[in-house]
Amino acid sequence: MFTSWQVSVRVVLLILAGVFVLAGAALGLAWLIRHDAVIWLAQANQWIADTVVQRLGYAGVFVLMAIESSVIPLPSEIVMPPAGDLARRLPDWTLGGVIAAGTLGSLAGALVNYALSLAIGRPVLLLLIRRYGRYLHVSLESYGRAEAFFQRHGAIATFVGRLLPGVRHLISIPAGLARMNLISFSLLTLAGAGLWSAILAYLGYWFGSDPQRLSEAMKAYSHWVVGGALALIALYVAWSVLRARRGGAAASGAGPGGG
C-alpha cells in the first residue's frame, strides 16, 4: 500500500534519475562520436568476422543463433553483423545465405525451448530457473516478464517477442507451456527471427562499407544524433514515471477505504 506522499516521492526520484540518465547519455554519446566509436565498432565487427564467424561458416552461424535462441546468453548482435560483413567482403558468403542460416538457427533453438518447456511443465521450469538461472543470466523476474508478455498478447507475441531484448530468447518457453499450435509457433517464430536476422545482417553489411565516412557524418550531425537519442530516453523516462504514478495510485486505492 502506498500513500499519496510515497507515490510523489517515487515520482520525484524517477524524474531525478531520468535527468541523470539523460545527462550521462548525452555526455557519453557525444564523447563516443567525437572519439570515432563508429570506427572502433567497425573494426571489432570485422575482427569477430575474420577470427570466428568465417572459420565456422554458415553452419556456425546456424549453431550460434540456435544457442542465442535458447536460454544460453549469446547475443545475436555479435553473430549476425559480422556475418553480414563477410557477405560484403567475401565471394563465398551471401547476404541471403547469412539471413537464412541465422533464421533457421533461431527457429531450431526456439523449438528446443518449446519442446523442453512442454515436457517438464511450469513448476519444474520455475524450480530450475530459481536454482540454476543465475548461471545463464535468467531470473524468475525476467522469465515472468516474458510469460506476462505472451499471456497479454497471445500467439503474436512469438513474432513480436523475437524483436525485443530480454524477451527474445525466452518467449518460446511460455508458448510451449501454453501448448501453442506448433505450426503457428514455427511460422511466427520464422517471421520474427527472419526480420531480426535480416536487420542485423544488413547493419553489418552496411556498417563496414565506409566507417570513416560514417564517423565524419556523425560528427557533423552529432547534435541531431545526440538530440534524437535523448528524445528517445526522455520518452522512456516519461513512460516509466507515468507507469509508477498509475501503479502507486492503484496500490493506494486498493487499501482500506479504497474500495
| pLDDT band for position 198 (cuts 50, 70, 90) | very high
- For position 168, what pLDDT does the model report? 81
Domain co-membership, 196 together with 208: yes
Domain co-membership, 123 together with 213: yes
The three-state DSSP-derived secondary structure of 14-52 is HHHHHHHHHHHHHHHHHHHHHCCHHHHHHHHHHHHHHHH
Q: What is the mean pLDDT of residues 192-208?
A: 88
Domain count, the chain: 2
Least confident of 80-84, 231-235, 247-251: 247-251
Residue 164 per-residue DSSP state: S
Domain co-membership, 106 together with 161: yes
6 domain residue, yes or no: yes
Residue linked to cell 515436457? 119
Domain co-membership, 165 together with 194: yes
Domain co-membership, 248 together with 128: no
Selected residue with higher pLDDT from 139 and 29: 139
Query: Cell numbers of 210, please?
Result: 565506409
Domain co-membership, 85 together with 173: yes
Mean pLDDT of the chain: 79
Domain co-membership, 82 together with 197: yes
Domain co-membership, 59 together with 164: yes
Domain co-membership, 24 together with 69: no
Give residue-wise pLDDT tens across range 91-132. 999 999 999 999 999 999 999 999 999 888 888 888 888 888
| pLDDT band for position 258 (cuts 50, 70, 90) | very low
Domain co-membership, 139 together with 18: no
- Kindly state the percentage of the chain with pLDDT values over 70: 68
Q: What is the mean pLDDT of residues 154-167?
A: 84
- For position 96, what pLDDT does the model report? 95
Range(s) of the domain holding residue 227:
1-35+222-259
| pLDDT band for position 250 (cuts 50, 70, 90) | low
44 domain residue, yes or no: no
Domain co-membership, 216 together with 240: no
| Residues 192, 159 contacting (CB under 8 angstroms) | yes
- For position 170, what pLDDT does the model report? 85
Domain co-membership, 78 together with 122: yes
- For position 225, what pLDDT does the model report? 60
pTM tops 0.85, yes or no? no
